[in-house]
Amino acid sequence: MKIITKLWIGLGVLIVLSPLGLLLPERFKAGAAWGEWGAEEIKELIGYVPKGLEKFSSIWSAPIPDYAFKGWEQKGMGQLSFAYIISAIVGICLVILIVLLLGRLLSRRK
């Protein structure tokens, strides 16, 4: 089996397993995933929001906030799991597209 085939199989497995990020924290009452905190959550955790985070937090907003589509936040676990999988596919496609575009740009310069 070619290495690229193994890569695609691995990515497929990770996409299918992505709803674990939704299921496990709920099952173990763990709260948000480490490093995915918003300004409000950081304020709850440490008591204040660092100036840099406060300044730049309004600049960037996620294309698919909370890995779910607008209005799906209150839906069942099955639909949220589906939204997680779609979010993973969109993220992987965006990364592949960016890498391919950068590769073309950099190869033309040589």
pLDDT value of residue 110: 60
Nearest-CA neighbor of 67 among 29, 21, 102, 109? Answer: 21
- How confident is residue 76, by pLDDT bands cut at 50, 70 and 90? confident
Q: Is the pLDDT of residue 108 over 80?
A: yes
pLDDT value of residue 12: 92
pLDDT value of residue 35: 72
Pairwise CA distance, residues 84 & 79, whole Å = 9
The mean pLDDT of the chain is 85
Instruction: For the beta carbon of residue 19, count every other beta carbon within 10 angstroms.
Output: 20
Q: Is the pLDDT of residue 6 over 90?
A: yes
Question: Which pTM was predicted?
Answer: 0.68
Nearest-CA neighbor of 23 among 83, 71, 63, 70? Answer: 83
Pairwise CA distance, residues 72 & 86, whole Å = 13
Beta carbons of 31 and 25 less than 8 angstroms apart: yes
Q: Is the pLDDT of residue 10 over 90?
A: yes
List the end-to-end C-alpha distance of the chain, in Å, as a whole number. 33
Give the range of the structural domain holding residue 36, as residue numbers without chain letter. Answer: 3-109
What total number of domains does the chain contain? 1
